[in-house]
Amino acid sequence: MLTDTHAHLCDERLRGQLPGVLDRARAAGVGRIICVATTAADSAECLAVAGEYPDLVAPTVGVHPNHAAEAADGDWDRVVALAADPAVVALGETGLDRHWDFTPFDVQEDWFARHLTLSRATGKPVVIHCREADADVERMLRADFDRHGPVRGVLHSFCGSWATAEACLAMGLYVSFAGMITYKTADNVREVAGRVPSDRLLVETDCPFLAPVPFRGKTNEPAHVALTAAELARVRGLDPDSLFSLTSANAARLFFPVS
């Protein structure tokens, strides 16, 4: 069984085709999909999709850093209220992004801090987006870690340095890899992916974005997580089945802890 730990099933490119998309995921061996929210409205939608496919899909709620600027009054209260739903397995995606300039950086920091605080209050892990902001993400996680101890969460679609990964692993975080690991030029991503400890490794699609080779440039979907996982297995010298069950066990520990 495979777990796609990061899928935007409510994106317009996937939402209308979900029966087919999810059938293909099951056929590819995907047993669980974390449906990741990007806005308050999308959070409610992720919960609705999870309600339609409770055996396969588990939702997060949160506001993506690139969407924080467009959040309306009351959106955060809505996320907080939705986070109390027992079906919700994580918060986010949140984090920091210096590549795009959709949200002023101090506003991104404010929203990231809110998610970290909500994670401590609910006990649910955080899904973290980090783009060209490694030092800033590490600084904010460090502040949270210094006050409260190990951080439950994942650096998703990781493409940063080993130094960043190592610092975040030491604070308790998991590291997840997407289709980029299959791209010819991504030697740096493969190098980091080869070094993450086995018990902290996750795989994802980040669909509809970042489709792995040979689907690069096309609409990505959860079934393609098998290609990313197979490449990760190759990088780590494992047979694919071992890698599949290893990463699914890690996902279960992070997102579905037995209390």
Site for Zn ion in 187-206 (CB under 5 A): 206
> Which residue of this chain has its Cβ atom nearest to Zn ion in the complex?
206
Kindly tell me the burial class for residue 98, based on how many C-beta atoms sit within 10 Å of its own C-beta (0-12, 13-18, 19 or more): middle
In the complex, what is the shortest distance from the CB of residue 127 to Zn ion, in angstroms, rounded to a whole number?
8
Could you identify the residue written with the tokens 């047979």? Answer: 239
Cβ closer to Zn ion: 67 or 145? 67
> Total number of residues binding Zn ion (CB under 5 A)?
1
SS3 content of the chain, % helix, strand, coil (to 5): 50, 15, 35
CA distance 255 to 156: 13
Q: Which is nearer to Zn ion, 144 or 206 (CB)?
A: 206
Q: How far is the CB of 72 from Zn ion (least distance, A)?
A: 21
Rounded Cα gap, residues 259 and 240, in angstroms? 30
- Shortest distance in whole angstroms from residue 147 CB to Zn ion: 27
Locate all alpha helices (DSSP H) within 102-200, ordered by sequence: 105-122, 134-148, 162-170, 187-193
Residues 206-235 as x/- pattern, contact with Zn ion by CB under 5 A: x-----------------------------
Q: Which is nearer to Zn ion, 66 or 145 (CB)?
A: 66
Q: Which residues bind Zn ion (CB under 5 A)?
A: 206
